[in-house]
């Protein structure tokens, strides 16, 4: 059996323990409406303009924004007493910001309208009517930002063969035009032009890649949540588009051509493109949660690692794949679980894929609570 060098094993274990402070910030500056609420505005002014910003993660460039006015919100926020701790692994994807006395104020807001201090990660006790109004605003903006979670059996009719559509990468915000050329179990797609192929390659950092990415597919007024990879393969092609083959886009419930089975990484990204990552992962079995961790480690995705473990981690192992089948057993009465999984991965500085065994320890607080991966020891 091939073994990783001791240096690599140490790097992996250190990577699993490496934590970074998590701060939610808005990358955009306040617009003219928000800027008008400056130091010249006195406390007695009853109406302020607020901005909501939705982004998949605090690192994403793609975002949606909306402004609104409210007479009660400022006082509600100023008088709100700190409440209970916000225990979800990820802060909400929506930020509320406004200018007060020349300083920008920022809070996180859940789809239920709950307001969270992004630094202390504690809920603020705001009146129910204020929370209801915020919930309506957040829901409307998130619906605009994310895609519709549509099963493949319906999506394939929305995107018939040879239809042309716009594909938006939910992280970078880059978009290009594509055409469905074939595919009965998912969409086999081609970039339309050389420029479209170049944009797809840019999304993947200048190299073709099998990594899965959350995408929006826009056609005839509808926006569908999907997942793509960026590797040309197979037959078919549009002449002169600099793309030799096709790439795949999966939707809810779509399967691979060969195995006719769900691809966990594609399904995870479909949920992400619909804005449902946290909700989806919170309902997964321990075995499916381990797959989320492996996908995150393979793609070096800190958000996936955090939603699986509840902590920020830095782990990136190229070509990491699960080799062994899970010996799944009934965990309905368990609060803790330890299991060993065989994986393949490419060590740093090597082009050779090797096998390794990872010992996962998982736990949950109660029988109706979600699971977390508490440790992943590479042996």
176-198 per-position pLDDT tens digit: 999 999 999 999 999 999 999 99
Residue 49 domain-assigned (yes or no): yes
Q: Is 141 helix (H, G, I), strand (E, B) or coil?
A: helix
Q: Tell me the average pLDDT across 247-262.
A: 91
Residue after which a domain boundary falls, among 256, 273, 290: 273
* Residue 354 and residue 266 share a domain: no
Residue 25 domain-assigned (yes or no): no
Q: Are 18 and 314 in contact (CB under 8 A)?
A: yes
How many folded domains does the chain comprise? 3
Q: Tell me the average pLDDT across 14-36.
A: 33
Backbone angles phi, psi at 258, to 5 degrees: -75, -60
* Residue 303 and residue 255 share a domain: no
Residue after which a domain boundary falls, among 242, 273, 304: 273
Residue 297 domain-assigned (yes or no): yes
Q: Tell me the average pLDDT across 315-341.
A: 88
pLDDT at residue 35, as a whole number: 35
Q: Is 293 helix (H, G, I), strand (E, B) or coil?
A: helix
Q: Is 289 helix (H, G, I), strand (E, B) or coil?
A: helix
* Residue 83 and residue 165 share a domain: no
Residue 284 domain-assigned (yes or no): yes
| pLDDT for 211 beyond 60 | yes
* Residue 296 and residue 363 share a domain: yes
The region, left, alpha or beta by phi > 0 then psi within -120 to 50, assigned to residue 349 is left
What six digits make up the tokens of 53? 């910003």
pLDDT at residue 320, as a whole number: 86
Query: For tokens 């594609």, what's the residue?
Result: 266
Q: Are 213 and 203 in contact (CB under 8 A)?
A: yes
* Residue 280 and residue 269 share a domain: no
First to last CA, the chain: 13
pLDDT at residue 302, as a whole number: 94
Please choose, from the candidates 144, 161, 167, the residue with its C-alpha nearest in 3D space to the C-alpha of residue 226. 167
- Report the alpha-carbon distance of residue 301 to residue 304 in Å, rounded: 6
pLDDT at residue 88, as a whole number: 94
- What percentage of the chain reaches a pLDDT higher than 90? 72
| pLDDT for 75 beyond 50 | yes
| pLDDT for 280 beyond 80 | yes
| pLDDT for 44 beyond 80 | no
Q: Is 309 helix (H, G, I), strand (E, B) or coil?
A: helix
* Range of the structural domain that residue 262 is part of: 152-273
Backbone angles phi, psi at 268, to 5 degrees: -65, -45
- Report the alpha-carbon distance of residue 201 to residue 81 in Å, rounded: 49
| pLDDT for 358 beyond 90 | yes
pLDDT at residue 142, as a whole number: 98
* Residue 282 and residue 265 share a domain: no
Split at pLDDT 50, 70, 90, the class of 67 is very high
List the CATH number of the domain containing 127.
3.30.1490
pLDDT at residue 47, as a whole number: 60
- Report the alpha-carbon distance of residue 245 to residue 87 in Å, rounded: 45
| pLDDT for 23 beyond 80 | no
Split at pLDDT 50, 70, 90, the class of 324 is confident
Q: Residue 43, class by beta-carbon neighbours within 10 Å (0-12 exposed, 13-18 middle, 19+ buried)? A: exposed
| pLDDT for 353 beyond 90 | no
Least confident of 36-50, 116-130, 141-155: 36-50
List the CATH number of the domain containing 301.
3.10.450
Residue 335 domain-assigned (yes or no): yes
Q: Is 346 helix (H, G, I), strand (E, B) or coil?
A: coil
Residue 60 domain-assigned (yes or no): yes
pLDDT at residue 103, as a whole number: 86
Please choose, from the candidates 181, 162, 189, 184, the residue with its C-alpha nearest in 3D space to the C-alpha of residue 254. 184
* Residue 262 and residue 170 share a domain: yes
Backbone angles phi, psi at 288, to 5 degrees: -70, -30
Q: Tell me the average pLDDT across 312-338.
A: 86
Residue 27 domain-assigned (yes or no): no
* Residue 312 and residue 250 share a domain: no
| pLDDT for 208 beyond 70 | yes
pLDDT at residue 362, as a whole number: 97
Share the mean pLDDT of the chain: 86
Angle at 101 between CA 111 and CA 124, to 5 degrees: 30
Residue 118 domain-assigned (yes or no): yes
The H-or-E segment that residue 203 falls in is helix 194-203
Residue after which a domain boundary falls, among 97, 123, 145: 145
pLDDT tens digit sequence for 155-172: 999 999 999 999 999 999
* Residue 132 and residue 99 share a domain: yes
The H-or-E segment that residue 84 falls in is strand 81-85
Please choose, from the candidates 149, 151, 147, 373, the residue with its C-alpha nearest in 3D space to the C-alpha of residue 262. 151
pLDDT at residue 373, as a whole number: 97
What six digits make up the tokens of 35? 């800027």
Helices 302-309 & 286-299 angle (0-180, nearest 10)? 160
Q: Are 292 and 371 in contact (CB under 8 A)?
A: no
* Residue 266 and residue 158 share a domain: yes
* Residue 156 and residue 261 share a domain: yes
Please choose, from the candidates 45, 47, 51, the residue with its C-alpha nearest in 3D space to the C-alpha of residue 33. 51
pLDDT at residue 10, as a whole number: 33
* Residue 172 and residue 135 share a domain: no
- Report the alpha-carbon distance of residue 35 to residue 54 in Å, rounded: 19
């Amino acid at each position: 059996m091939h073994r990783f060098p001791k240096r690599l094993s140490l790097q992996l274990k250190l990577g699993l323990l490496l934590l970074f402070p998590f701060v939610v910030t808005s990358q955009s500056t306040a617009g003219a409406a928000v800027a008008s609420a400056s130091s010249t505005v006195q406390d007695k002014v009853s109406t302020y303009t607020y901005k909501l910003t939705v982004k998949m993660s605090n690192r994403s460039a793609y975002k949606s924004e909306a402004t609104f006015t409210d007479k009660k919100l400022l006082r509600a926020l100023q008088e709100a007493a700190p409440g209970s701790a916000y225990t979800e692994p990820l802060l909400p994807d929506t930020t509320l910001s406004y200018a007060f006395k020349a300083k920008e104020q920022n809070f996180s807001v859940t789809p239920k309208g709950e307001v969270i201090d992004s630094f202390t990660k504690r809920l603020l006790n705001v009146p129910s009517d204020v929370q209801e109004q915020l919930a309506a605003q957040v829901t409307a903006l998130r619906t605009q930002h994310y895609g519709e979670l549509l099963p493949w059996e319906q999506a394939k009719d929305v995107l018939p063969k040879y239809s042309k559509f716009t594909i938006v990468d939910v992280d970078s915000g880059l978009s290009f035009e594509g055409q469905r050329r074939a595919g009965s179990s998912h969409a086999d797609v081609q970039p339309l032009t050389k420029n479209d192929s170049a944009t797809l390659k840019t999304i993947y950092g200048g190299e073709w890649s099998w990594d899965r990415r959350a995408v929006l597919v826009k056609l005839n007024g509808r926006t569908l949540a999907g997942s793509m990879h960026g590797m040309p393969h197979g037959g078919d092609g549009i002449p002169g588009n600099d793309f030799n083959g096709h790439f795949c886009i999966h939707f809810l419930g779509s399967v691979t051509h060969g195995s006719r089975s769900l691809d966990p990484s594609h399904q995870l990204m479909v949920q992400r493109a619909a804005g449902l990552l946290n909700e989806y992962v919170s309902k997964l079995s321990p075995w499916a949660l381990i797959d989320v961790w492996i996908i995150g480690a393979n793609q070096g995705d800190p958000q996936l690692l955090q939603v699986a473990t509840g902590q920020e981690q830095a782990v990136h192992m190229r070509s990491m794949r699960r080799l062994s089948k899970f010996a799944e057993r009934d965990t309905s009465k368990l609060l803790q679980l330890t299991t060993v999984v065989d994986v393949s991965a490419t060590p740093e500085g090597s082009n050779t894929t090797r096998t390794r065994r990872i010992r996962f320890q998982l736990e949950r607080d109660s029988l109706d609570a979600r699971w977390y991966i508490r440790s992943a020891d590479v042996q």
